[in-house]
Amino acid sequence: MKMNSRLFGYQELVGLVVAMLVSGAALTLTTVLATGCKRSAEPATQASGPQTGPASGPASAAVPKAEAESKLVTLKVGHLPVTGHAKFFVAKEEGFFKAEGLDVELVEFTNSADGLAALRAHKLDLGAFGTTAPLVHIAKGADIRIIGGVMGEDAAIIATPENAKIIKTIADFKGKKVATVRLATGDAVFRGALDEAGLNWKTDVQIFELKNPPAVLAAVKSGQVDAGVTWGPHDITAEAQGLQVIIRSRSLQPGHPCCRLTVNAKDFQERPEVWGRFIRAFLRAEKFANDNHEKTLDDISKYLKLDRALIQKAYYEGFLDQTSDPNVTGIDRFWKTMLKSGFVESDKDITQFVDTKIYEKALKQLASESPDDAFWKKRLEIFAQRDSAAATVQLRQEAPAILVRSTAGATQIRATPASLEVPNCCQQ
């Protein structure tokens, strides 16, 4: 009986080894022998076939992805809910941010004033809130830097069909009531144009600063103001609601910049490599939007709940400059217009607050990867015209701007009076 028992155990052992080899288990024969002549049912549990949980397959397949995710730099980026900010949406949806090692959280604001306040309070890492807002903050002592652009032009002055027959030029605004959005780019362009036309925007025109473009449209439609300053796609929305565009900002200040990529100076100094990666992703999104219209419209539609045809018209058929360069020459002209019209008071050289090197490096890297691509050749051309060292030198050779001092305060114009009641739906 003892001999038969020992023989029986070896037979089981051989069967077990064969089963383990077939199943692909990692145990060796030495390990099995060390377990003794146990019954086959117990070790068979260990040899139940390949595992399907997280440990299955080569360990190296999962580790790089996990490591890559853990190394992503997290950024909170503020934007406005407008078609002109499509590159944020495209870079996020098409994976360009992630490809540059960035985990970007997009934070929406309804106006530039609130967005810049959040940036300065370090609630954001980067923001894109017009040109007026960052320049006003710089005039007041903010230590921030502009490192790129999002869009240019695209603002418009709207009115009812009846008022459109009366207001045809800037000179026609004398004695009129006009609604704007606080610290909007189009607002500063409008006031600069009034100054150029010989009108004092503090006394010849009543300007009311509202919370957002829908509030401006509501005020114009209700007749509480004679006209309103807004931007895309709200100009197209206004036309769909029966209003008319009477003047576009590009006719008042051709080529003017709008939303600029802005960061706090401390972050700018400490993380130049991160901003370079951000600009690369942004430029890649710009090229993608240029080459892939339908997919870009899909991406925009995830963030803006607007009719697709309206988005198409606003982004691809409208009055939008989609380039991403800092546009230091445009910013300088904008700054001088604000000084001359009394919108801000400052003796600062605004070009000292604009960095072009990070953008230039990112652009040249991408262009070198596709040297024959017409898109990158054009962007290099634009950079040379608006941002190069030669362009900056030319600016500094120009006569300094006339500083117009305002005793009343240049940026606080007039609070919305009680007589100008804005519907509750538009005060958000």
pLDDT in tens, 206-227: 999 999 999 999 999 999 999 9
Handedness of CA 24, 28, 32, 33 (dihedral sign): positive
Give me the residues paired with residue 328 across strands. Answer: none
What backbone phi and psi angles, to 5 degrees, belong to 178?
A: -130, 130
Q: Look at residue 364 in the predicted model and tell me its pLDDT.
A: 98
Q: Look at residue 365 in the predicted model and tell me its pLDDT.
A: 98
- Over residues 68-78, the mean pLDDT reads 85
pLDDT surpassing 60 at residue 66: no
- Indicate whether 262 and 371 sit together in one domain: yes
- Over residues 162-170, the mean pLDDT reads 97
- The tally of domains found in the chain comes to 3
> What CATH number corresponds to the domain at position 208?
3.40.190.10
- Indicate whether 239 and 307 sit together in one domain: no
- Indicate whether 209 and 250 sit together in one domain: yes
Is 128 a member of any domain? yes
Q: What is the pLDDT of residues 281-338, one digit of tens each?
A: 999 999 999 999 999 999 999 999 999 999 999 999 989 999 999 999 999 999 999 9
Is 402 a member of any domain? no
Handedness of CA 16, 22, 28, 29 (dihedral sign): positive
Give the Cα separation of 143 and 264 in Å (integer).
6
Is 38 a member of any domain? yes
Q: Look at residue 398 in the predicted model and tell me its pLDDT.
A: 59
- Over residues 90-103, the mean pLDDT reads 98
pLDDT surpassing 60 at residue 158: yes
- Indicate whether 377 and 348 sit together in one domain: yes
- Over residues 379-384, the mean pLDDT reads 97
Q: Look at residue 45 in the predicted model and tell me its pLDDT.
A: 34
- Please identify which residue in the block is written with the tokens 């609130």: 114
Cα angle at 299 between 295 and 302, to 5 degrees? Answer: 140
Give the Cα separation of 242 and 239 in Å (integer).
5
359 or 18: which carries more pLDDT confidence?
359
Give the Cα separation of 247 and 262 in Å (integer).
28
Q: Look at residue 306 in the predicted model and tell me its pLDDT.
A: 94
- Indicate whether 167 and 141 sit together in one domain: no
Q: Which amino acid is at 131?
A: T
- Indicate whether 120 and 207 sit together in one domain: no
Residues 245 and 325: beta-carbon distance below 8 Å: no
Residues 182 and 113: beta-carbon distance below 8 Å: yes
- Indicate whether 393 and 266 sit together in one domain: yes
- Indicate whether 265 and 382 sit together in one domain: yes
pLDDT bracket for residue 189 (50, 70, 90): very high
What backbone phi and psi angles, to 5 degrees, belong to 12?
A: -60, -40
- Indicate whether 368 and 266 sit together in one domain: yes
Q: Look at residue 391 in the predicted model and tell me its pLDDT.
A: 73
- Indicate whether 374 and 269 sit together in one domain: yes
* Maximum distance among all Cα pairs of the chain, rounded to whole angstroms: 120
pLDDT bracket for residue 390 (50, 70, 90): confident
- Percent of the chain's residues with pLDDT above 70: 75
pLDDT surpassing 50 at residue 39: no
Q: Look at residue 70 in the predicted model and tell me its pLDDT.
A: 60
344 vs 162, 351, 370, CA distance in Å? 34, 16, 43
Give the Cα separation of 268 and 286 in Å (integer).
22
Q: Look at residue 389 in the predicted model and tell me its pLDDT.
A: 79
Is 365 a member of any domain? yes
Residues 373 and 164: beta-carbon distance below 8 Å: no
- Indicate whether 262 and 385 sit together in one domain: yes
pLDDT bracket for residue 69 (50, 70, 90): low
pLDDT bracket for residue 128 (50, 70, 90): very high
Q: What is the pLDDT of residues 263-295, one digit of tens each?
A: 999 999 999 999 999 999 999 999 999 999 999
Is 423 a member of any domain? no
The arrangement of strands across the sheet holding 260-264 comes to: 102-108, 73-79, 126-128, 260-264, 144-149
pLDDT surpassing 60 at residue 27: no
Q: Which tokens sit at 149? A: 């652009």
Q: What is the number of residues in the chain?
A: 428
Is 119 a member of any domain? yes
Mean of the per-residue pLDDT values of the chain = 82
312 vs 248, 295, 344, 392, CA distance in Å? 19, 11, 36, 35
- Indicate whether 134 and 164 sit together in one domain: no
Burial class (CB in 10 A: 0-12, 13-18, 19+), 402: exposed
pLDDT bracket for residue 397 (50, 70, 90): low
Q: Please, what's the b/e burial string for 257-293 (b: 16 or more CB within 10 A of its CB; e: otherwise)?
A: bbbbbbbbeebbeebeebbbbbbbbbbbbbbbbeeee
Is 245 a member of any domain? yes
Is 63 a member of any domain? no
User: Residue 96: which domain range?
Assistant: 71-151+256-397
Single residue among 238, 254, 270 that ends a domain in this structure: 254
The least confident of 17-26, 124-133, 171-180, 202-211 is 17-26
Q: Look at residue 24 in the predicted model and tell me its pLDDT.
A: 42
Give the Cα separation of 414 and 394 in Å (integer).
37
pTM of the model: 0.77
What backbone phi and psi angles, to 5 degrees, belong to 127?
A: -145, 155
